Structure 1
Amino acid sequence: MASARGGARDAVGGVVPAEVVAPATAEEVAEVLRSTGGSVVPVGAGTKTGWAARPASCDVLLRTTGLDRIVAHEPGDLVVVAEAGVTLRALQRRLAGHGQMLALDPPEEGATLGGIVGANASGPRRLRYGTVRDLLIGVAVVRADGTLARSGGKVVKNVAGYDLGKLYTGAHGGLGVVVSTVWRLHPLPRAAGAVSLPVTDPAQAGRLAGLVARSALTPTAVELRFAPGGGELVLLFESIEASVRAQSAQARALLGGGSELPTVPGWFGRRPEGPLVLRLAYEPAALAAVLAALPEGASGTASACTGVAYAAVDAGTDLGALRAALAPYDGSAVVLAAPEPLDAAAHWGPVADSFGLMTRVKDQFDPARRLSPGRLLGGL
C-alpha cells in the first residue's frame, strides 16, 4: 500500500494531512481504519473535495484511486460491479463496447465512482434516469472500525437487507469508506438531437420549463444557461431516429420557435466557474422565482425541470440573505467552491429538522467521529 507524508497539494479545505495512503484492496482500507487512531478523510480523485465543509482535522488522507478494478459486467442483466477508484470515463468506455452506459453524467474530469457516490454528483440526464440513489443497487463499504459490510446485490430487483447505498450517497466519507459499487445500466441511445431557444429573463425561462414539464415530451435533459442579459434553453432528446425527429418538431411547436441542433452546445451540463459557486435546490415550479432571487451578475446553469441549479456569484454575496430568499420555495444554497475554506455553518446553511436523526446515524456508524470530521451538515 502506497503511503507518503502529506503536503500542501494534498490539503482538503486548507487542512494538510499528516499522512496520505492509497490502498489497493478493501482489506488494506480496513487495515488503515483499524490501525489509525486519529481522523481519516476518504477522497477519490479529488475533483469534488470542495463540495463538503473543511474537515476539523485530517490525520490520514485515504485515496481510493488504487481500487480501480471493474469486477464484473453482466450485459444481459444490465448490471456492472466496479471498485470505488474506477473513473466514470473508464467505465463508460468499457460499457460502450457492449452498447450500454451508466446513465450518470457529472462533468468533473477524472471523477471516480466512489467520489460520485460520496458527493451525490449528477448531471443533466438526471431528468430521465435519476441520480446516484436511483442507479446504485449495491455497495461495499469499510466501516469506521474496519468491518467490511455489503448491501444490495447484482440484480436490479434486489430486496435483501437494508438499502445502505442511499445512506452512503452524499455522505462524503463520513459514515464509512465506499470500496465497491454495483450499478443498474441502460442501453446506449441510437440517436440524439437537441432543440435550442434563447431566453431573455427568468419569467420566460420559468414559463418555458413549465410548458415542457407539463407536456407529453420525454426529453433526456432540459438545461438552462443563464447570465446577465439572457440565456439559452436546450432540450436533449435521445431515442431512435424517428422519435428524436418527431419530438424535436413537437418541442419547437410547443415553445413557439427554436433551432434544431445535431448535438448539445459546449456549455451543456458544465458547472459554472467563479469566485463563489453554489448548488441550489428548490421546488421545480419555482425556477423563475429562484433565478430572480440571485444577486446581480449571477450566471450558471439549471436542470430546468428538476429543481437543481449551479450559480457563480460574487464572493461578497450575503449567503444568509440568499438562503432566506430561497426558503419559501423549499430552497437551499450549498457552497461548492469558495475563495477561502468555510466552516460547516457557512458551507451548508441552516440545519434541517432531521438533524437529530442525522446525528444519531453518525454516532451509530462512526461513534468516535473519526471519518471526515466536521465535513457534514451541522459540523458532524
Structure 2
Amino acid sequence: MADLQRLAETLEQDGGGVRDAGPADAVDGVPALAVARPTSADGVAAVLREATAQGLVTVARGAGTALDWGAPPERVDLILDTTGLDRLVEHGAGDLVVVSEAGLPIAALSETVRGAAQELVLDLPPDRLAGDSTVGGALSTGVSGPRRLQRGGIRDLVLGATVVLADGTTASSGGKVVKNVAGYDLAKLLTGAYGTLGVVVRAAFRLHPARPDRAFVLATGPLADVAARARDVVASQLAPAAVEIDRPAGSDVAEVAVLLEGTGGAVGQRAAAAAALLSGRVQDGPPTWWAALPGVSTSSTDGGSSTSGGGTHAKATATLTGVAGLLTAARDAEQRYGVGVALRGSAAGVLHAVVTGTPEATASAIGHLRGAATSPREGTVTVLRASREVRAALDVWGPVGGLDLMRAIKRQLDPGRNVAPGRFVGGI
C-alpha cells in the first residue's frame, strides 16, 4: 500500500498535493491507488524518489486524451498528474525556439507563438487539441499530423528535453538545456515511448514561420488511382505542405486532399497546377475530415458533426509506393473478414486505421493489413487503442526491430520497472 502521508510530505515545499485516487483515475482500465500533482520539476523528482523507495509503480498523466493508447500498464499505484507544470519557459522568437513545461496544453503554446507569426507544426487531432492535450502527452505518444510531410514529425521538431527518472534523478539532453547526458539523445528516446523511461518535465521545440496563405486541392477516385495521383503530387516540384488520403470504411473510392502554403499569388498558381495533376478542384478550406483520426467526430459543412464509429484504432506505416497496397489490403480485409476498415493519413505513408468487427475478425484484419508489408522496414501496423478481447487475440505491436536494445535502455534508465511498466512494445 502507498504511504500517502510520506508522498504528501515530499510536496510541502512544492505547493502540490497528493490524494486518494477516484473512479476516474485509471490508465487504460487499470485503476490507481493515489494521484500526485506536483507543480515543479523538483516536485516531480521528490515524488518519484519517494514512490520508487516505496516500491510503487508510477504512470504520468497529462490531460488524458490518449491515455488508452499503447498497452495497459502492469499496474498503477500512483498517477503523476503533470498539469501543474504548465508554464511557458521561453519563447525565443528570433531563434524560432520555444521551451515549455510538460503540462502546458499544446493549444495554449500554439496561441502564444502565433502572436509572433510562428507555429509549432504538430497538427494534433482536433479532439485532442480541444481536450487540452499537453506537451508531455504529445511527446509520449509521438503523434504528428498532416504537415509532417514537409516539416517532419514531433521527433524532428523536438530539440531537447528534461526528464525525471524513476529514482528522482533529473537528466537533460539536446538544445536549450543546462545539463546533458552523454550517450543518449533523450528527447528522441522519450518521443513515442509512452512514458516508460521517465517523466518528461520540460521540452524545447523548433518553430516555423507561419505561412499566411493556403489553398486545398481535392480529388476523388478509385483506390489505386488516388494513391498513384497522390504519389505524383508528393514527388512533384509543387512542394505541398501535406498530401492526405481518406478512405471511408466499405468504400471502393478514396479522397485525396493537398495543402499548399506560402505567400501571395504563388500559392494559387501551385494549387492550379496540383488540381491539373490530380484532375481535382481547388477550395479555400480543408475537407471536414482533415487532421482528424478516423472514428472520431468531425465538424461537417452544415455546422453539425459526423462520426464514423468506434472500433480498434491502429497506426499503419508504408513506403511511398506501398500506400496503394495498404488501401487495397483494407478493402480485401473487409471482404474476407466482414469488418469495416477506415483508413486516413499521409500519402507519404503514415496513416491511421479504425477496424470495426468482432475481436477475432478484427485481429485477422489487422494481420491482413500487416501482410501488405513484408518487413518493418517496408511498413508496420501498430494497434494504439483496442478492447482487451482484441488485445488478447493479437500482438498489438507486431514485428519490431531493435527490441533487445530498447529493453537494455529500459533497464539502464528504470532498472526497477517503476515507471509505466508494460505500456510499450515487448512489455517494456
Q: Is the 8 A contact 1:80 1:185 kept in 2?
A: yes
Q: In 2 relative to 1, CA 180–34 (structure 1 residues): closer, same or farther, beyond 3 Å?
A: same
State whether residues 44 and 65 of structure 1, in contact with CA within 8 Å, keep that contact through their aligned partners in structure 2: yes
The superposition leaves residues 313-369 of structure 1 with CA deviations (integer Å, 9 ceiling, x where unpaired) of 123212463254133262222222223376599463334231111111100000001
- Residue 367 of structure 2 aligns with which residue? 321
Question: Residue 339 in 1 paired to residue 361 in 2?
Answer: no
Map of 1:311 onto structure 2:
353
Q: Which residue of 2 aligns with 1:178?
A: 200
1:299 match: secondary structure:
strand
Whether 1:302 aligns to 2:327 is no
Change in Cα spacing, 1:113 to 1:152, as seen in structure 2 (3 Å) is same
RMSD of aligned residue pairs (Cα, Å): 2.0
Contact 2:215–2:267 at 8 Å: present in 1 too?
A: yes
Pick 1 or 2: higher relative contact order, CA cutoff 8 A, min separation 6.
1
Q: What residue is the counterpart of 2:49 in the other structure?
A: 34
| Aligned positions, number | 375
Structure 2 alignment gaps of length 5 or more: 1-15, 296-309, 335-339
SS at match of 1:356: helix
1: distance between equivalents of 2:117 and 2:20? Answer: 43
- 113-122 or 343-352: bigger deviation: 343-352
Q: 1:35 to 1:315 in 2, by over 3 A?
A: farther
Instruction: Using the TM superposition, give the Cα deviation of residue 275 of structure 1 relative to its aligned residue in structure 2, in angstroms.
Output: 1.5
**Structure 1 moving runs of 4+ over 6 Å:** 158-161
Query: Where do 1:101-116 residues align within 5 Å?
Result: 101-107=119-125, 108-109=128-129, 110-116=132-138
Query: Which residue in the other structure is 1:220 paired with?
Result: 241
What TM-score do the two structures reach when normalised by structure 1? 0.94
Query: Take 2:266 and 2:176, find their aligned partners in 1: how far apart are those partners?
Result: 32
Give the Cα separation in 2 of the matches to 1:101 and 1:141: 24
AA aligned opposite 2:405: L
2:70 alignment counterpart: 52
In the TM superposition, 1:44-83 aligns within 5 A as 44-83=62-101
The question of 1:211 aligning with 2:232 is answered yes
Given residue 371 of structure 2, which amino acid in structure 1 is its aligned partner? A
**Kept after mapping to 1: 8 A contact 2:173/2:181:** no
Q: What's the % identity of the aligned pairs?
A: 41
- Structure 1 counterpart of 2:263: 240
Out of 18, 21, 26, the residue aligned to residue 11 of structure 1 is: 26
Give the whole-Å Cα distance in 1 for the aligned partners of 2:392 and 2:113.
38
Contact 1:351 1:378 in 2 (8 A): no
User: 1:104, 1:46 → 2: CA distance?
Assistant: 18
1:292 aligns with 2:328: yes
Contact persistence 1:124–1:222 (CA under 8 A):
yes
Q: Distance in 2 between matches of 1:20 and 1:52?
A: 21
**TM-score, with length taken from structure 2:** 0.83
**Which runs of 5 or more residues in structure 1 are unaligned?**
none
